[in-house]
Structure 1
Amino acid sequence: MSNVIRSLSDHYALLLSCWGQPQREEGLVAERLALGLAESLSALDGPVALLRLEFSSSPFDSATLTQVKTICYELNRHLGRLLYLSSSLPEHFQSMVARRMGLLDHRNIGDIMAVLGVVEQALKTGDPLPEVLPTPLVKRTCEFWQVHQVEIELSTDLIRDENYRRFCVAVTAYLMFLSAVDDLVLVMKGALGESHIVRRRLVDAQPRCLV
């Protein structure tokens, strides 16, 4: 399963590489990439189901891995849709997505890559996830909107524009991708717990009198 997360990270990196670029042949292979990863996930159905019948010291049971696999299907679907749009959506609308969603913002990219990397490692080792992670990613995107005063226009004329409708599909797919990553973190923490707990205590800041 960790290899699936690594492949998803690679697909995400590919999306960033070709989004908004004039040469967008990479996006044309989106369907093949998505189908290939879907086949890899389907191949895990048998081994995951067998966990119900086997005694294992692994912290992952069949139900947890089924949840992880389902979320990976969702991530693959949303990334595949975005990769397809990277080759079909006009550059102007791709730039709108990047500016308004922070898709190419370095901090946002780093947060997403970091979370996927932590999940990949946890699937390999079974170690708890750090308590503090840059999640929920959807919330951080909303904060990005507030800081950059992002507004998404919507009118009857715009809705009649096919490319604007595809722009809306891209925005939705990106938000659904982030939401699925957030769900993945919750499932992993539910199975493995948390580590590196940060204790927050209110410190009495009143000055002490020395006698």
Structure 2
Amino acid sequence: MSDSEITGYTTVRGEHRHETEVRRSRFVAVVRRVDTEDGARQLLTDLRREFHDARHHCSAFVIGPDRSIQRANDDGEPSGTAGAPMLDAILRRVTTGGATDLSDLAVVVVRYFGGVLLGAGGLVRAYSDAVSQALDAAPTVQRRLLQQLTVPVAHADAGRVENDLRAAGTEVLGTDYLTDRALIQVAVPAGDASVEGFTARLASLTAGQSGAELQDLKWVDCD
């Protein structure tokens, strides 16, 4: 699926931590919302500094509405026993509505070795479980792609049209008053059908006197 076809996905709010212990090894999982690779690397840098005496700082991150950026690192654990299971725990996460659409987050699992070898299978389970439990505790937020539009109206009509649009369920972002007219800024769900539906409602509300000018597409958090 291309990025242009995606109109919504799920991410986490802020940063969250969860600690577990497996056969005396301590695992500290930290989940942080990020939207760039630099942001994900900053989390790793921060935790290497904070937990400077830990043996491993394994990481995984997924970025983009289409989850096009995916990275994982074992940081010295046997190949495939840490980073990959962490990444898989993110990708398999079922969110609102049964979707597996979690993105824009990085996870680092800090491990303090407890003296008991866990084996490959034990490491996979430990790192996967650490991420899953951290995600269980992290509140999520839905992101939607909105089409912004500008509605030019006469000064005298601005208040009425704005109120009518709100009453019809349209998200009104604000109104700019110029010398010769007012510009009502609105947002509707991205997609031709939504824009056409809004245009039809606008024509009805203004008796065909006002049109809508397309502006930018914008990703927004929705409560």
TM-score range, shorter chain: under 0.3
Instruction: Determine which structure has the larger helix proportion and give its number.
Output: 1
Q: Which has the larger radius of gyration?
A: 2
Highest RCO, 1 vs 2 (Cα 8 Å, sep ≥ 6): 1
**TM-score of the aligned structures, taking structure 1 as reference length:** 0.24
**TM-score of the aligned structures, taking structure 2 as reference length:** 0.23
